[in-house]
Amino acid sequence: IFIVALSFAYFSKTLSGTYMKSAITQIERRFDLSSSVVGLIDGSFEMGNLLFLAVVSHFGARLHRPRLIGMGCFLMAIGSALTGLPHFFMRQWVHTVYTVHVISPHLSSNNTGTDYVKDTGSSMWIYVFLGNALRGIGETPVTPLGISYIDDFAKAENSAFYIACLQTIMLLGPMFGFLLGSMCAKLYVDIGFVNSVTITTQDARWVGAWWLGFFVSSAILVLAGVPFWFLPRSLPIQGEEWNENFNVDQGVTPICKTCRFLPSLKRLLCTPAYFLLLCGIVLKFNSFIGLLTFKAKYMEQQFGQSASRANFLTGVLILPVVAVGIFLGGLLMKIYKLSVVAGAQLSFITSLTAYLLCDNVPVAGLTVSYNG
């Protein structure tokens, strides 16, 4: 039951996160923001996450982990709702037309752009920033406490398979998140408040209903958090007697627990295997997050795609393949009972092969000059 509940929580949190990324271009136009400010808004999730991640991971393992995960889901739901709330306190989208000259082999030289009257409420993007940061704070107990709960009460040979299943379902969340973003991008931002719309989704002035998906994801996160309140603090381990009230820190004062934190963190960071894994994860997410955040915008500007179609292509073509790869990796480790070293070697070989098979695409200003 815990695996099912945690899988749905993983699905919900990744759906909410990737919907935020799919709505980046809509938020940028609606609030008249630069790409750097939009990147700051998107990064507020990691800011909120990093503030509490180490503390929650250390002290949360000594508390009722399922309920902490449930609380995290509810916090993410509040943050997601707060992100979409500014829409109801802003004026309707007002725009005029101007012509820009675009130098791109995929677009015509003349393209209709947007020049609109700035909304006095455009500074309300701060609430989008705060809502995304609150969602990051709420996400802190889900992954570390969920994984530790599995490691404590599952067989060693089954842990890798269970975690691979979680990672696979977690990648289904981004797929549905981008599909939700595609659906919302087809709806006009002021849907329900205007009688008719004279522009189409292909128009550069179009702004989709970016706020709608945040309330949908908020409702899903609330549902994901409910089951954890009914799960026990501990589960039976095969061959051992189940004690629901068992606590490894029983009899230890809170001051002693606090004093243990920094030495534990130091020992953890000084472990070579963990430190190398941490560096690998940082490098992986450094590229993967940037890809998810700005790929849709790149497809819009470089290939003239609408925001709806760009999100649809990202969700349907890219993420399912990644999900299948993660699932197969966990299945291989379970079937062949690969050790940690063998798993690292498998990861290195597959990553190197993927790098060698991919061709570099010419990018003006990076790999080739603007003059060709």
pLDDT tens for each residue of 50-99: 888 877 877 777 778 888 889 999 999 999 999 999 888 887 766 554 44
Residues 6+ apart with CB under 8 A from 342: 336
pLDDT above 90 as % of the chain:
11
Which position has the higher pLDDT, 245 or 93? 93
Contacts by residues 93-97 (CB-CB < 8 Å, ≥ 24 positions apart): 93/30, 93/189, 93/190, 93/207, 94/119, 95/205, 97/205
CA 63 → CA 54, 69, 202, 232, 314, distances in Å?
Answer: 15, 11, 52, 11, 39
d(CA 180, CA 174): 9
Q: What is the pLDDT of residues 188-211, one digit of tens each?
A: 888 877 777 777 777 777 788 888
Structure tokens at 317: 């073509």
CA dihedral (95, 178, 283, 369) in degrees, to 10, reads -50
Residue with tokens 């949360």: 60
Mean pLDDT throughout 342-367?
Answer: 76
Helix (H, G, I), strand (E, B) or coil at 208: strand
Q: Which residue has the higher pLDDT, 296 or 67?
A: 67
Residues 123-179 pLDDT 10s = 888 999 999 999 999 988 888 888 888 777 666 667 777 777 787 787 788 888 888
Which residues have CB under 8 Å from 358's CB, separation 6+? none
**Window from 12-26, 159-173, 255-269 with minimum mean pLDDT:** 255-269
pLDDT of residue 371: 67
- Residues 198-227: what's their mean pLDDT? 86
pLDDT tens for each residue of 100-111: 444 444 444 444
Neighbours of 105 (CB within 10 A): 7
What CA–CA distance (Å, rounded) separates 218 from 172? 17
Least confident of 22-26, 210-214, 354-358: 354-358
Domains of the chain: 2-92+122-237+253-357 (1.20.1250.20)
278 or 240: which leads in pLDDT:
278
Helix (H) or strand (E) run with residue 111 in it: strand 110-115
According to the model, what pLDDT value does residue 102 have? 42
Question: What's the confidence (pLDDT) of residue 372?
Answer: 54
> In sequence order, what are the residues at sequence separation of 6 or more whose Cβ sits closer than 8 angstroms to the Cβ of residue 131?
79, 80, 81, 82, 83, 84, 85, 214
Query: 131: exposed, middle or buried (C-beta count within 10 Å: 0-12, 13-18, 19+)?
Result: buried
- Predicted pLDDT of residue 80: 93
